[in-house]
Structure 1
Amino acid sequence: MIWEVDGQKIKIIVKATEGIEIHRWDSDHKEILVSGNISKDELKWSIKNLLATGALVQGDFTVEPIGVFGRKWPVRRLLHPQQPFFYENIIHCYVKGDKISAKDQKEIEKQLLLQEISREVAKWEEYFRIMIPKISLRKNTKKPFSITSNKDGILFDSTLCHQSIPLLHFCVFNAIAEYISLSKDRYHEILEKKYPTHSSLTRIINYEYNESNYN
C-alpha cells in the first residue's frame, strides 16, 4: 500500500518480523518494511521522523566501492549497526574498522539482493493477488531459482547479486510464473509488454547457467 506523508509517497510492505526497516530510500522511491502489529499512528510518526531527521544518510565515504548488480557503487558508512540499503544510488551500511572484510561484503551483497528480490516479488504478489510464503537465497549453479518441493517458497541463486538489476527482475518474474503455473499465453503476453529485451536476458541466463531451454 502507498501512504502520502508530508507530500512524499511511501510504499508500505508488511513483513513477518517485528519493527520497521528501510527497504529502499532514494529520491524516486521510499519503501519500508513494517510488522503487521504496528499502529497507524506509530507508523506515521516513524515515517515523519525518517523524512525530517535525515538520520539515514549520516556517515562518510572512506570505504572502497562495492561491486553488486553488475556495477560498482559508492559506499557511505553508517554510524550504527543496521541493515544495508540504497539511498540516492549509494550503498549505506555499517562497517567495522577501516575497511569492509570479505565476509562482511558477502553479507552486504546478500542483504541487498534479498531486498531487491523481495521488492520485486511484492510487486508481482500485488499484480497476481497472491502471497509467496518465503523467499530465500542459496547458491545454485544450475538455475537462477527453484520452487521448494512443497511450494512454501522460492529459492533464488545467491550469486544473482553479480547480475544486472534488469536480469534479476526478469528472473523474479520467471520464478513467479513458474510458482503460479502461469499459462503460456499469459506468460508471453506479459513478457512482450514488460520485458522488451527478454531475448538477450534469456541468452545471458542460458550462458550463466548452461541452460538450453530456459523458458
Structure 2
Amino acid sequence: MLKRLITKLINWLERLTYEPLTVDNANKKLIVPVRGIMIEGRQLYRYKNDLDIPIKRKVAISGAHKWFGASISVDKVVEFLNQILAANNDHDASRVGLLAYGLKDMITTCTDDEALYRMGGVMYFFKDEDHAQFDNDILLEKVRAFKQLPDHQRDFFFSTLLKHMGVSNDTSTKAILSNLSKSKVKLMAYRQLLSEGLSRKNSTD
C-alpha cells in the first residue's frame, strides 16, 4: 500500500517537471513527454502508439531502424562497394580484402551511435515541431544536442530510446550499450580506411 502511494506521488511530481503540452485535445491522447530527457532546456515528446505516427515521420524512423540494424547507412555501403571495385580494378588484392572485411565487420558486429542519435532525432520531437512532417535541419539540431549530453545522461538517453524502439530486454540493452564504445574505435578505423581511398583517388585525378 505504501509503495503504491509513493509511486503515485513520484509520478505526480514527475509530471510537474514537464512543459505543458500545448497541442489540441486529439493529439493529447496520442503524444506523451519523453520522461527524463530534455535538450537545451526543451522537453521532447513522442507518439504513444506507433500506429499513430504520421507517414513521413514513420518512413524516416524506418530508415533509421535499417541503419541501426546494419550499423551502416546505405550511402556508406555504396562507398565501400565503389572502393572495393576500384581496388579490384587496380589489382590491389590486399585493399580489396581490407575493405571487404571492414564492411562485413561493420554490418555484423558494430553498433553505430550515429544511428541511435538519428533514431532519437526522428522518434522524439519538440512541441512546436510539425509532428506530421520530417525536417532534416531540425533533426541535425537534435542530433548535435544529443551528442553534447553528459556521459550519464547519454547512457540514460540510449537506454530510454532502445526501450521505445522495442528493445525491452535489459540484457539486450546492456549488451548494445557495452558494444557502443568498442564499436566506436572500429568504426573510426574503417572510416579512416575509406578516407584514405578517397585521398588516393583525388591524388590521381
The alignment's TM-score, normalised by the length of structure 1, stands at 0.27
Richer in helix (by share): 2
The alignment's TM-score, normalised by the length of structure 2, stands at 0.28
Richer in strand (by share): 1
Q: Which has the larger radius of gyration?
A: 2
